[in-house]
Structures are given as structure tokens and as C-alpha cells.
């Protein structure tokens, strides 16, 4: 089926390196012909969607992908953001990074246009282990240092809960829908983070994503999960944090091993 005449964008055509486009086109065409199932994740959205490539355009250029599943309408608000497509091939996980250009030229279309990726290659594994935080007493964010970024109408202080932490960043949660206050690309300055054994350190925090989680359980409140990376963390603090994470990781491994032995 010819998609190009139906979904040609009316926007100004992108200028791209012909050699890069040729190599990338051949790779993308192989993926399209193989109907390779892909997982799509957009910047600012922690949800994971399934899709396939339907058309690879050589003139503008762009990729046309099927309506991402599940359908939740979130992507409509992320036009212009970067997206990552991952897929399995020959036992290896591959990835490519594109930009979400928008829906196909028909506004009622369920298909989306993505920019050409710069490359398609093996997925880079995260080199920083993220340690799940099992106790709020071990790792916490000083609520007063966060109050400027997550203000409350009544002047009260929001108590964040750290979910996991690595040498490069962390994830945390705050009550309510705070995506307008804390969103991808925002820098939260001067956060005071306390880690048992490392003391308290002040650091800026670069938000990579935030997601509102609506609770169906009346006993639990809605909350927003925020993830990102540390900015300006000193060498000494990094070394202390790395030692702490390694220590707790080994301790957790021993506990799991002991539990398996007891259960045997």
C-alpha cells in the first residue's frame, strides 16, 4: 500500500544527509518488511507502547508507525518530544531515537509520524545500578528544599518518597497530580538529599520524566512519579553514594540467598 500520497506532511521538508538517509532507509525498510514489533517510549511519559513501522518515506523524510497500543491519548500532548523505539533482533535488543512529529496529515488519523533516527543499533545498557529504596529512613529528600518546586495552596510541605537511587539519579513520588509543576526538562535546584552513611548533600535535579498515577483504591491517594538525574554531584559524594549502593545491594543479595535456603 502506498502511504506517501496520503500522509505527506504539509510542513517544511527536513534537510538530511543523503548518505545517512540511504543507509537508514535500507535498515528501516528491512524492519518494515519484517513487520518487526517495536516498543515505543516518549520523553516525559514512562508508559511503554507497542507499534510497527507501516511506511518509510524517502522524500521528507519520516517514518509512519501504527497507532501505539495501548491507546491512552498521552502521546498527543508530547508532539515534538524525543521517542525511543526498541525491538529484538537475532537475540539482541536494538534501539533507535526519533522525534515525534505528530499525527499523519489527516487529523483524525490514528497513525503517527516520526523523524528518521540518526542510527539504528544495539541498545546501550544503563551502567548505573538503581537501588530500590525499601525504607524512607535510608534515603529521603528534605521536604523543605522541594517545597519551592512543588508548592501547596495551604502552605504545607509535601513529603516526597524516594523509590530508587543510583550514582547518576533517582526516582521519587509525591502526592497528587504534579505534572505541571514537575515535568521533563525542568531543573530543580538545591535539593537536599539525605542518604544514611553518606550524610546530606545538596544537588540540582534534571527531570527526565514525570507520570501521574491515578489510584482506584479509595484508601490510597493519587501520586506523581518523577525520575531524573543529578546535576553537579561532587566526586566525594559520588564515591560515598556508590559505596552505599554496593553495600546495600550485597546485603539484599545475601538476604535473598538466605531466604531461598530456608525455603528449600
Residue 211 has pLDDT above 90, yes or no: no
Asked if residues 64 and 112 have their Cβ atoms less than 8 Å apart, the reply is yes
Tell me the mean pLDDT in the region 195-205: 90
Torsion of CA 214, 215, 221, 226, to 10 degrees: -40
Mean pLDDT of 216-233: 80
Homologous superfamily (CATH) for 131-263: predicted glycosyltransferase like domains (2.40.10.220)
The Cα 172–Cα 168 span in angstroms is: 14
pLDDT for 5: 42
Least confident of 149-158, 212-221, 247-256: 212-221
Answer whether 125's CB lies under 8 Å from 136's CB: no
Distance CA 54, CA 23 (A): 18
pTM: 0.52
CATH number of 4-122: 2.30.110.10
pLDDT at 230: 92
* Cβ count within 10 A of residue 193: 24
pLDDT tier for residue 122 given thresholds of 50, 70 and 90: low
Look at residue 169 and tell me whether its pLDDT is greater than 70: yes
Mean pLDDT of all residues belonging to the chain: 80
143: left (phi over 0), alpha (psi -120 to 50) or beta: alpha
Amino acid at each position: 500500500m502506498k502511504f506517501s500520497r496520503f500522509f505527506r506532511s504539509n510542513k517544511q521538508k527536513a534537510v538530511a544527509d543523503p548518505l545517512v538517509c540511504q543507509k537508514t532507509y535500507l535498515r528501516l525498510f528491512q524492519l518494515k518488511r519484517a513487520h518487526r514489533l517495536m516498543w515505543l517510549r516518549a520523553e516525559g511519559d514512562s508508559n511503554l507502547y507497542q507499534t510497527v513501522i507501516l511506511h518509510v518515506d524517502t522524500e521528507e523524510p519520516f517514518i509512519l508507525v501504527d497507532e501505539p497500543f495501548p491507546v491512552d491519548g498521552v502521546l498527543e500532548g508530547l508532539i515534538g518530544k524525543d521517542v525511543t523505539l526498541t525491538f529484538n533482533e537475532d537475540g539482541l535488543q536494538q534501539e533507535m531515537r526519533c522525534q515525534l512529529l505528530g499525527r499523519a496529515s489527516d487529523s483524525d488519523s490514528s497513525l503517527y509520524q516520526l523523524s528518521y533516527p540518526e542510527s539504528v543499533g544495539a541498545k546501550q545498557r544503563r551502567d548505573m545500578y538503581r537501588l530500590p529504596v525499601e525504607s524512607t529512613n535510608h534515603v529521603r529528600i528534605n521536604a523543605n528544599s522541594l517545597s519551592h518546586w512543588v508548592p501547596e495552596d495551604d502552605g504545607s510541605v509535601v513529603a516526597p518518597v524516594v523509590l530508587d537511587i543510583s550514582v547518576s539519579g533517582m526516582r521519587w513520588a509525591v502526592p497528587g497530580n504534579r505534572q505541571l509543576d514537575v515535568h521533563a526538562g525542568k531543573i530543580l535546584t538545591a535539593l537536599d538529599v539525605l542518604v544514611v552513611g553518606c550524610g546530606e548533600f545538596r544537588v540540582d535535579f534534571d527531570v527526565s520524566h514525570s507520570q501521574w498515577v491515578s489510584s482506584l483504591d479509595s484508601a490510597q491517594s493519587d501520586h506523581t512519579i518523577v525520575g531524573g538525574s543529578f546535576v553537579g554531584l561532587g566526586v566525594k559524594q559520588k564515591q560515598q553514594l556508590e559505596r552505599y549502593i554496593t553495600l546495600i545491594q550485597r546485603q539484599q543479595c545475601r538476604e535473598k540467598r538466605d531466604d531461598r535456603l530456608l525455603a528449600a
